[in-house]
């Protein structure tokens, strides 16, 4: 942030966009397992919770007029089954869930997709600020 502020012209705008990996929302018959999968996958990502800190990061770097919005994509189709399987595979690779748990959860999500009952919400955080004049 300090380097961005240094190179940005006075009055220039900066925008940050990203997701907070812990805030992924997935409907499941086993919310505890789902939470474990989401959090384990988040921990495989560098800075999985950075997006929730955008406002503080910009303020700490001396930016003005900091604004944050959250836009959530809602996905209900079977096309998201591959993404959900990837979450479970990531959690399995860390040992957070067993192979049996991952396979069962993936099967449930695929069945939800086939029955038009899949639900995935992905919040995207957007922050904008102005370099001081």
Q: With b meaning 16 or more CB within 10 Å and e meaning fewer, what string describes 23-58?
A: bbebebeeeebbebbbebbbeeeeebebbbebbebb
**Tell me: the pLDDT tens digits for 14-34?**
999 999 999 999 999 999 999
What is the per-residue pLDDT for 117? 96
C-alpha 32/C-alpha 85 separation (Å) is 17
**Tell me: the pLDDT tens digits for 40-76?**
999 998 999 999 999 999 999 999 999 999 999 999 9
What is the per-residue pLDDT for 30? 98
What is the per-residue pLDDT for 11? 96
Tell me the whole-structure pTM to 2 decimals.
0.84
What is the per-residue pLDDT for 82? 93
User: Which residues of 24-130 form beta strands (DSSP E)?
Assistant: 25-26, 64-75, 120-130
Tokens of 112: 């939800």
């Amino acid at each position: 942030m300090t380097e961005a502020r240094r190179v940005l012209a006075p009055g220039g705008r900066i925008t940050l966009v990203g997701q907070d990996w812990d805030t992924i929302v997935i409907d499941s018959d086993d919310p505890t397992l789902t939470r474990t999968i989401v959090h384990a996958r988040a921990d495989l990502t560098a800075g999985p919770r950075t997006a929730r800190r955008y406002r503080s990061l910009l303020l700490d770097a001396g930016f003005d007029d900091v604004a944050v919005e959250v836009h959530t994509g809602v996905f209900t189709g079977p096309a998201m089954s591959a993404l959900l399987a990837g979450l479970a595979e990531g959690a399995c690779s860390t040992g957070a869930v067993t192979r049996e748990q991952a396979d069962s959860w993936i099967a449930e999500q695929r069945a939800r997709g086939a029955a038009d009952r899949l639900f995935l919400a992905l919040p995207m955080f957007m922050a904008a600020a102005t370099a001081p004049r």
